[in-house]
Amino acid sequence: MSRFIKSHFVDSKTSAKICFTALEALKLVDKKTVSVEIPAAKEWRETHLQKYSVFRPFDWTFSTTYTGSISGSWKIEETTEGLDYEFLRSRLPILLYADVNLFEDELGDNGISVLNVKIRVMPRGFFVLQRFFLRVDGALLRVWDTRLQWRKGDGYVLRDIKRSDSVQWLPGMAGVGINDAEAHCTKLIEHRTEKLIPLDFPFL
């Protein structure tokens, strides 16, 4: 089953839409490179060389740089503006909340790989968090986040993209879940912020 979350802006006639889909996310998984390898994989390959003449490496962790799919008329600008944490921490009534795993895999009992999307809609705006979480036991923790923020009155959606990995594997990382991994991922891979400006919708 293909899972997805779609959002459009108040008037469904506008062409400006943002969508998060498992299929599009999986299309960005590296099909030629093994990004993380555990000792058991090397041992298996060495013992099966005669049985299998061709090995086709791919990123078995399903790590994806997906940041959502946008369609319609948009202008994308880099910005130094950050997320409004006061707005995000506000106690405004929540009109809509969703928490969806787009995909999940236990990596052959070697950890877990999850792409999750949370959306929170309030009277004065909305907030979306897409998180790719990876735990390869004995090797790596990974948290790659995409956050979307819109506040009433803004003529744009702010998209914050941050990707971080653990520097090394530590015993305390065993069993760490998606909500607790960020503190362990101190190696910053990428961090950038963009304004997504819909060109055919008059924000109020």
pLDDT value of residue 4: 55
Q: Chain-wide mean pLDDT for the chain?
A: 87
pLDDT value of residue 46: 60
Q: Specify the residue for token string 């003529």.
A: 155
**How many structural domains compose the chain?**
1
At 191, is the secondary structure helix, strand, or coil? strand
164: in domain: yes
Spans of the chain, pLDDT less than 70: 1-14, 39-56, 201-204
Report pTM. Answer: 0.87
* Rounded distance between C-alpha atoms, residue 32 and residue 89, angstroms: 41
Query: What pairs with residue 128 in β-bridges?
Result: 119, 148
Which range marks the domain in which residue 112 is found? 4-198
pLDDT value of residue 51: 61
At 181, is the secondary structure helix, strand, or coil? coil
204: in domain: no
203: in domain: no
Give per-residue pLDDT as tens, 124-153: 999 999 999 999 999 999 999 999 999 999
168: in domain: yes
Phi/psi region, residue 153 (left: phi>0; alpha: psi -120 to 50; beta: rest), is left
115: in domain: yes
pLDDT value of residue 204: 46
Radius of gyration of the chain (CA): 19
Give per-residue pLDDT as tens, 20-39: 999 999 999 998 877 777 76
Whether residue 151 contacts residue 125, with contact meaning beta carbons closer than 8 Å, is answered with: yes
